[in-house]
Amino acid sequence: MIKAGIIGATGYAGGELVRLLQNHREAEVVWYGSRSYIDKRYSEVYQNMFRIVENVCRDDDLSELADQADVIFTATPQGFLAGILTEEILSKTKVIDLSADYRIKDVAVYEKWYGIEHKSPQFIREAVYGLCEINRGKITSETRLVANPGCYTTCSILTAYPLVKEGLIDVDTLIVDAKSGTSGAGRGAKVANLFCEVNENIKAYGVGSHRHTPEIEEQLGYAADRPVTISFTPHLVPMNRGILVTEYASLIRKPDGSLPSYAEIRAAYEKHYGGETFVRLLEKGVCPETRWVEGSNYVDIGFVVEERTGRIVMMGALDNLVKGAAGQAVQNMNLLFGLRESEGLDLAPCFP
Amino acid sequence: MIKAGIIGATGYAGGELVRLLQNHREAEVVWYGSRSYIDKRYSEVYQNMFRIVENVCRDDDLSELADQADVIFTATPQGFLAGILTEEILSKTKVIDLSADYRIKDVAVYEKWYGIEHKSPQFIREAVYGLCEINRGKITSETRLVANPGCYTTCSILTAYPLVKEGLIDVDTLIVDAKSGTSGAGRGAKVANLFCEVNENIKAYGVGSHRHTPEIEEQLGYAADRPVTISFTPHLVPMNRGILVTEYASLIRKPDGSLPSYAEIRAAYEKHYGGETFVRLLEKGVCPETRWVEGSNYVDIGFVVEERTGRIVMMGALDNLVKGAAGQAVQNMNLLFGLRESEGLDLAPCFP
Amino acid sequence: MIKAGIIGATGYAGGELVRLLQNHREAEVVWYGSRSYIDKRYSEVYQNMFRIVENVCRDDDLSELADQADVIFTATPQGFLAGILTEEILSKTKVIDLSADYRIKDVAVYEKWYGIEHKSPQFIREAVYGLCEINRGKITSETRLVANPGCYTTCSILTAYPLVKEGLIDVDTLIVDAKSGTSGAGRGAKVANLFCEVNENIKAYGVGSHRHTPEIEEQLGYAADRPVTISFTPHLVPMNRGILVTEYASLIRKPDGSLPSYAEIRAAYEKHYGGETFVRLLEKGVCPETRWVEGSNYVDIGFVVEERTGRIVMMGALDNLVKGAAGQAVQNMNLLFGLRESEGLDLAPCFP
Amino acid sequence: MIKAGIIGATGYAGGELVRLLQNHREAEVVWYGSRSYIDKRYSEVYQNMFRIVENVCRDDDLSELADQADVIFTATPQGFLAGILTEEILSKTKVIDLSADYRIKDVAVYEKWYGIEHKSPQFIREAVYGLCEINRGKITSETRLVANPGCYTTCSILTAYPLVKEGLIDVDTLIVDAKSGTSGAGRGAKVANLFCEVNENIKAYGVGSHRHTPEIEEQLGYAADRPVTISFTPHLVPMNRGILVTEYASLIRKPDGSLPSYAEIRAAYEKHYGGETFVRLLEKGVCPETRWVEGSNYVDIGFVVEERTGRIVMMGALDNLVKGAAGQAVQNMNLLFGLRESEGLDLAPCFP
């Protein structure tokens, strides 16, 4: 039985980790870290876990936890893990970090977009970017530190990746218009996230400056094998869960001036995702919707070729707390420990 | 492997049955009946099941189904099953009916409240009212026909039952004020259930005349050992899932004029539910909320003693599609076939 | 032109006052008090008022404001006004208080339910309880201090008042089950009011102990001409605006044992509300819904007689920010200054 | 007093017309046309209008109506008006059509995108496209037929218009990602628009094929003085009202290779909208949100220059039932009859 510790267990992503690990046959949670609720029973904070989780919340003592746990999930604010991670900890246990601290290889880019100094850049190189469908081979029993991808980024990258990789689209024209449910904003007490402020509203935010932008650019840059600069615009939607991305790019015409066909584009997706458990390439004419993936680890992907404009509209949907956070973290844990990749994640989406 | 057929598989309760049975280790669905979508793939109707359920929808042929299935779930409109059920069918297979056709023992009461003629009253006597926590002993391998309780009724009855049974409240003063999410209204295309009509609104409906009233009265009458007449008022709430009942009753004073104590009342609840997996008696001062049971088979119960008025306020919450419909149906199936009662239902509630 | 000052202009009730007074032909706002946003433009806080309100927010200086304004609206936390109100202020200007500080005549009751000491009980006697439909005669040019009723209380009292006054119901059996939108919880940054905590949920709160209880009891006690004790249970509903109350009481039977007829009960309502602009007695069989009053100053009332139980179910709906707060405050201002009572309040409800 | 008739008075746009005209000092509704509810009182359909509108619904008799009304609003399905409009009707009364029948000058384009034959193309040339801020000069007492613009189109065009007109953006790169509340889908009883299907979901629909596309292209083509082809993707958002568009385009660089400055772009917007009552150009760094325009006739516009990509992100928000339908129709009526353009439309947005 894998012993897992969670730092930040009372945030929304932390709570989802608890839910998923309850359902996991080979792992158990041994530490519910929550600085805000130390010594309070976990089920008093998340009453859904009443009579399911009997533990009390504990402090964020990473050193002590490293002695007790085989793997530590950190669902913590940006900069937190970078400030306390040590070689000693990594020598004792594996760490799956749900924050952005080790996602971006260029520390200058991290510090510019996040506006904070990185306190332990020495671990960045070692960290594996845990986008399982793309980096599966690097997530092994040898791996000590996994940088679990962001919610917007997971959805944005997976939706475009095969077409970038196969050179079917002009990445310089790529625009990602993303829409997220409100759990992505976290459980902090802010006026902007009150029910009455979010309900009956839609807005863009962080236009041209959202922190997930360089993460998407870096990963798609690997696929394109050159630097990529994109427009990324997130929006806040009045719903609890779910991310939908709508991505626009010009298709690269063939020598004869024609556009790649639907079948050719589909083949590119099939090539990369044909064997994937958690990526569902929808049938022609079907658009992804967040409701159809809610509660599950699936990413649903669809696309439409616009003959009139020469563009493709790619769409992807996932549950930001599952594939966009806790589910992918569990998937990474499964890979780290050589378990069946979908263990604990065999959840059919729940509708309505 | 138990072979299950579902008639009405594309309604919300039917869809939830499909989700739950996917997760069940000892049962599989062999028939997805849906008159509206015959020959259409199930996953085209419920896209969440894409790549999970490959079957196509079939007609409502109960006779043919009786040959193929060990158990048939009917999630159908009132009167449908009563119109086609036969001794032959019951001799071949078990039936768990999610409609109201066999819930009420007095056919005259049924016909009055439902406004339709009962076409097969001969099976009413045999049918077992499948409120598992109360009638568990009657739901056995011998049972052929289970009348699965209604959503409001399950919540209303379980919340008050121990206090009625133990004579702690005056049942003549019992008032049930119930609030339901909109999935309880079904998937029919009606103006009243459009998003814009339900959103940003709360209303009472069926005041004094809702069909679940006699069902609650009959069952609580068994507990009280005399006829019970209650006020029952359902309300429609702008949310997908969940029922909350708020029940009011005068406590029966002791000979010395004092009210029963909190501890005495709690003991009555513990007596009946202490060993129950799916009933969670909340701690003192904690009120049930629908979000804490969403997606699960739990009923959460709490209460407050009002010294000022001599009343008790009892509250219960459940997920109307799980414990209020499909979950309880699976629980009944487990009892019918001698399986672990919670098989397929070990689902932690999903929040947010 | 009446000069109005608002203390607490950036709360939800304060914001609604601003909206309503914009639409008022005989009043203008001269002071936007908001301790949290001093020197910030009002329209930066409430962007709906961009290019409509150019003023900046100011401190809560009641003395200075008393020199400038003909009337001051205080939409402030409990105890705030009581702590700073003076004879000098009241000698210069009128005050309409949207908090509870002067609503309850018995200071001991106030201090018990609110858990704070009342700092200026000397003004309680003078204050008029501004429930216009009932106390209209007392709200005159002589009145200096109006205690604007609470949102739940306005709805709860108006729904039952005629039947209590006319002796048609047994007030000892009165139970008020109330449901409110989330704007009633205010604009403070609390985890409990975050979108993801409120959405897809319904819960009761303050069961047996909500502060609006003694206010309802006091006012209905005047109608009944004796002390009244009720059960009052508020619930939080995932919507922005609106309160619905469902009230239960036993009808008082006539000497021959029969219940009062529908017509007799309706006549009692007509007697008290027949000439009221803002109370709409719905037609037989129609239940109030919050969507039908949204944005307006109406209270919609309907009722159902339950022959089976001998009870009546009374229902009332209003917009908690309008008739339940700012609208009624404007209505009171109109009465204080001898204006047409509905000036600034001729707003048809907005649907959807 | 202008006598107005409404055909389609019980749809959402029709209902909003009724609300707005109630508030109009120079117009009154004399005909509430609703084929679905003939002879039913209007306030039974829209209970918000109880005691405000006493009329009953009438049939769609355009000829009779033409004799009674000075202006007819048709809020009807596509093709309806084209099928019944005659020279005789237009000789007697003015018509403001909220459907698409006369919006597109090229009948072949209309027939292709709408999939229906146009029954009265002879009136297309005469019809004025009623986008008031752009075509104000053409909407006069001489005008007989106004094609009231679509909701998506009004928002999409106004957001980009000044930059297209002034040649600041490359229209060939223009992408419009639009998000709409559900009232835009109408009041028809369809499964896809049920509460449980829309709530907790976001989806794109009509990708590459939505009917508002050619309307946007035609109007922006006039501004660009050449044909324009765009990508337009609408999304359905779980809220009642509101449209937000996020528009992407490459800025046209100056001869020295630099991008136009923020000030230069702002000046283009100011040039066209500086004097407009209903277009609010937001301050730098402020993004439009649908909640800030709800219930009003405003369009809020903001933009962000992305130096990194050379693109501009333009954003616009409006209330689809007001500026996107009924409000703009009233604005057109005011222009037709020489009234103050904002008469009946001086409504501050309502929040929350």
Give me the residue from C182, C191, C200 closest to A240, CB to CB: C200
The single residue listed with the structure tokens 């138990």 is B2
DSSP one-letter code for C226: S
Neighbouring subunits of A (3+ Cβ pairs under 8 A): B, C, D
Whether residue D193 contacts residue D133, with contact meaning beta carbons closer than 8 Å, is answered with: no
Q: Which of residues 199-258 of B touch A (CB under 8 A)?
A: 200, 240-241
Give me the residue from C19, C50, C51 closest to D350, CB to CB: C19
B132 as an active site residue: the answer is: no
- Where chain B has pLDDT below 50, the residues are none
With bands split at pLDDT 50, 70 and 90, how would you rate the model's confidence at C2?
very high
pLDDT tens for each residue of A278-323: 999 999 999 999 999 999 999 999 999 999 999 999 999 999 999 9
Q: Is C331 helix (H, G, I), strand (E, B) or coil?
A: helix
With an 8 Å Cβ cutoff, are D304 and A207 in contact?
yes
Contacts of A200 in chain C (CB under 8 A): 240
Residue (of B345, B301, B340) closest to B322 by Cα position: B345
pLDDT tens for each residue of C250-286: 999 999 999 999 999 999 999 999 999 999 999 999 9
Tell me which of A156, A183, A201 to substitute to probe the interface with D (most D C-beta atoms closer than 10 Å).
A201
Neighbouring subunits of B (3+ Cβ pairs under 8 A): A, C, D
What distance in Å separates the CA atoms of residue C278 and residue B152, rounded to the nearest whole number? 35
Q: What is the mean pLDDT of residues A199-223?
A: 98
Please determine, looking at this structure, whether the domain spanning C2-126 carries the CATH number 1.20.140.10: no
State how far residue B313 is from chain C, nearest Cα, in angstroms.
8
| Dihedral angle over CA of A83, A155, A191, C292, nearest 10 | -160
Q: Residues 6 or more apart from B59 whose CB is under 8 A from it?
A: B33, B35, B38
What distance in Å separates the CA atoms of residue A190 and residue A103, rounded to the nearest whole number? 26
What's the distance, CA D310 to chain centroid? Answer: 30
What distance in Å separates the CA atoms of residue D77 and residue D13, rounded to the nearest whole number? 12
Contacts of A40 in chain C (CB under 8 A): none
Nearest 5 degrees, angle CA B249-CA B251-CA B252? 130
Residue ranges of the alpha helices (H) in C200-312? 212-224, 262-273
pLDDT at D294: 98
What number of other Cβ atoms are within 10 A of residue D112's Cβ? 11
With an 8 Å Cβ cutoff, are C48 and D349 in contact?
yes
Residue (of B209, B177, B186) closest to B321 by Cα position: B186
Which one of D57, D132, D151, D155 is the catalytic residue? Answer: D151
Q: Which of residues 257-276 of D touch B (CB under 8 A)?
A: none
Rg (CA), chain D: 20
What distance in Å separates the CA atoms of residue C291 and residue C303, rounded to the nearest whole number? 18
pTM, to two decimals? 0.98
Q: What is the pairing mode between strands A27-33 and A2-7?
A: parallel
Instruction: Establish whether the linkage from the previous residue to B77 is cis, with ω within 30° of 0.
Output: no
Chain D contact present for C186, CB below 8 A = no
Q: What is the mean pLDDT of residues A111-125?
A: 97
pLDDT at C188: 96
Whether residue C99 contacts residue C77, with contact meaning beta carbons closer than 8 Å, is answered with: yes
With an 8 Å Cβ cutoff, are D189 and B190 in contact?
yes
Residue (of C340, C347, C342, C337) closest to C1 by Cα position: C337
Contacts of C210 in chain B (CB under 8 A): none
Reported ipTM: 0.97
- Where chain D has pLDDT below 70, the residues are none
Q: What is the mean pLDDT of residues C56-71?
A: 95
CATH no., domain A152-319: 3.30.360.10
Whether residue D134 contacts residue D152, with contact meaning beta carbons closer than 8 Å, is answered with: no
Q: What is the mean pLDDT of residues A191-201?
A: 98
pLDDT tens for each residue of C150-166: 999 999 999 999 999 99
Chain D contact present for C102, CB below 8 A = no
Instruction: Establish whether the linkage from the previous residue to B352 is cis, with ω within 30° of 0.
Output: yes
What distance in Å separates the CA atoms of residue D228 and residue A160, rounded to the nearest whole number? 27
Give me the residue from D182, D189, D197 closest to B191, CB to CB: D189
pLDDT at C202: 98
DSSP one-letter code for C102: T
**DSSP code per residue over B111-139:** HHHH-S--S-GGGTTT-EE--HHHHGGG-
What distance in Å separates the CA atoms of residue C306 and residue C299, rounded to the nearest whole number? 23
Tell me which of B18, B47, B180, B290 to substitute to probe the interface with A (most A C-beta atoms closer than 10 Å).
B47
Whether residue B85 contacts residue B95, with contact meaning beta carbons closer than 8 Å, is answered with: yes
Residue of B nearest to A52 (CA): B348
Chain A contact present for B348, CB below 8 A = yes
Q: How many residues does chain D have?
A: 352
Mean of the per-residue pLDDT values of chain A: 97
Sign of CA dihedral D283, D286, D287, D291: negative
Whether residue A13 contacts residue B352, with contact meaning beta carbons closer than 8 Å, is answered with: no
With bands split at pLDDT 50, 70 and 90, how would you rate the model's confidence at C313?
very high
What distance in Å separates the CA atoms of residue C280 and residue C309, rounded to the nearest whole number? 27
Contacts of A189 in chain C (CB under 8 A): 189-191, 194
pLDDT at A110: 97
With an 8 Å Cβ cutoff, are B194 and D195 in contact?
yes
pLDDT tens for each residue of D147-184: 999 999 999 999 999 999 999 999 999 999 999 999 99
With an 8 Å Cβ cutoff, are D352 and C241 in contact?
yes
pLDDT tens for each residue of B158-187: 999 999 999 999 999 999 999 999 999 999
With an 8 Å Cβ cutoff, are A50 and B292 in contact?
yes
With an 8 Å Cβ cutoff, are C12 and A196 in contact?
yes
Contacts of A12 in chain C (CB under 8 A): 196
Chain D contact present for C350, CB below 8 A = yes
Residue D226, judged by CB atoms within 10 A of its CB (0-12, 13-18, 19+), counts as exposed
pLDDT tens for each residue of D254-293: 999 999 999 999 999 999 999 999 999 999 999 999 999 9
Contacts of C242 in chain B (CB under 8 A): 200-202
What distance in Å separates the CA atoms of residue B220 and residue B134, rounded to the nearest whole number? 11
Residue of A nearest to B53 (CA): A348
With bands split at pLDDT 50, 70 and 90, how would you rate the model's confidence at C34?
very high
Q: Which of residues 284-323 of D touch B (CB under 8 A)?
A: none
Q: Is D113 helix (H, G, I), strand (E, B) or coil?
A: helix
Residue (of C82, C88, C78, C177) closest to C122 by Cα position: C82
Contacts of D238 in chain A (CB under 8 A): 237-239
Residue (of B42, D316, D248, D233) closest to A315 by Cα position: D233
With an 8 Å Cβ cutoff, are A200 and D291 in contact?
yes
- Cβ burial B246-279 (10 Å sphere, 16+ → b, else e): bbbbbbbeeeeeebbeeeebbebbeebbeebbbb
State how far residue A18 is from chain B, nearest Cα, in angstroms.
10
- Cβ burial C168-205 (10 Å sphere, 16+ → b, else e): bbbbebbbbbbbbbbbbbbbeeeeebbbbbbbbbbbbe
The kind and range of the H/E element at B38 are: none
With bands split at pLDDT 50, 70 and 90, how would you rate the model's confidence at C328?
very high
Residue of C nearest to A12 (CA): C196
pLDDT at D172: 98
With an 8 Å Cβ cutoff, are A191 and C190 in contact?
no
Q: Report residue A249 as tokens.
A: 């790019």
Contacts of D203 in chain A (CB under 8 A): 244, 287-291
Domain boundaries along the sequence of chain D: 2-126, 152-319
Q: Residues 6 or more apart from A218 whose CB is under 8 A from it?
A: A104, A105, A106, A109
With an 8 Å Cβ cutoff, are C23 and D240 in contact?
no
What distance in Å separates the CA atoms of residue D301 and residue D288, rounded to the nearest whole number? 6
Partners of residue D234 on adjacent β-strands: D178
Give me the residue from C188, C191, C200 closest to A187, CB to CB: C191
Chain A contact present for B19, CB below 8 A = yes
Q: What is the pairing mode between strands A94-97 and A71-74?
A: parallel
What number of other Cβ atoms are within 10 A of residue D67's Cβ? 10
Mean of the per-residue pLDDT values of chain C: 97
